[in-house]
Amino acid sequence: MTLKLTQKDKQVKLPDQVTGRICGEVALLYFAVVPFLTVFQKSVCNPREMLVDVYSEYPEDTEYIYIPSCVVLSRCGGCCQDETRECVPTQTRNVTLEVMRSRPSVSQHPLHLKFTEHTRCECRYDSTAQCGPCSERRKRLFIQDPLTCSCSCRYSQLDCTARKLELNERTCRCAERRQ
């Protein structure tokens, strides 16, 4: 087997033992399957290095140019295995990074900016998730937990018993007792 590498219009011929090793390594990389456990561990919710736009952290500084325009910070990311949850920080720390701040055609100087890094993350219920209604017709009879979206009756069995009635848990209404 012959492998030819082209570099600036020059062809370099490699010996067969090197060619075989390179082709074998390329084939191994191309056909390798990443095991489930590795894929799963890399996808879970935890702090990971992410590029963060400086302007997203300092939106009021529009007259300046920052170099670099984005910085590497540890931020929460990953999957939560439940679409009603999101990966959120539970512990943070402040870091100070030096960047260059420039005003076009005027000046450029180093500047220390503070950023928040995430040091611990966990999956929590998405605070922005919208729950569907418990009942289309009798909304006032139900109480809904905004975190879990679970529905429960506004009235308890005790409320109904005090009125000599019985709670119908399907409709969440106090009704005549069945004989």
Alpha carbon 16 to chain centroid, angstroms: 48
Q: Rounded distance, CA 76 to CA 124, Å?
A: 12
List of domains in the chain: 42-127 (2.10.90.10), 139-175 (2.10.160.10)
Please state the pTM of the whole predicted model: 0.54
pLDDT digits (tens, 9 = 90+) for 20-56: 555 555 555 567 899 999 999 999 999 999 999 998 8
pLDDT digits (tens, 9 = 90+) for 122-144: 999 866 556 777 776 666 777 77
Per the model's pLDDT, the better-predicted residue between 155 and 6 turns out to be: 155
Residue 130: phi and psi, rounded to 5, are -95, 130
Per-residue pLDDT, 6:
47
Q: How far is CA 37 from CA 43, 44, 81, 108, in A?
A: 10, 11, 14, 48
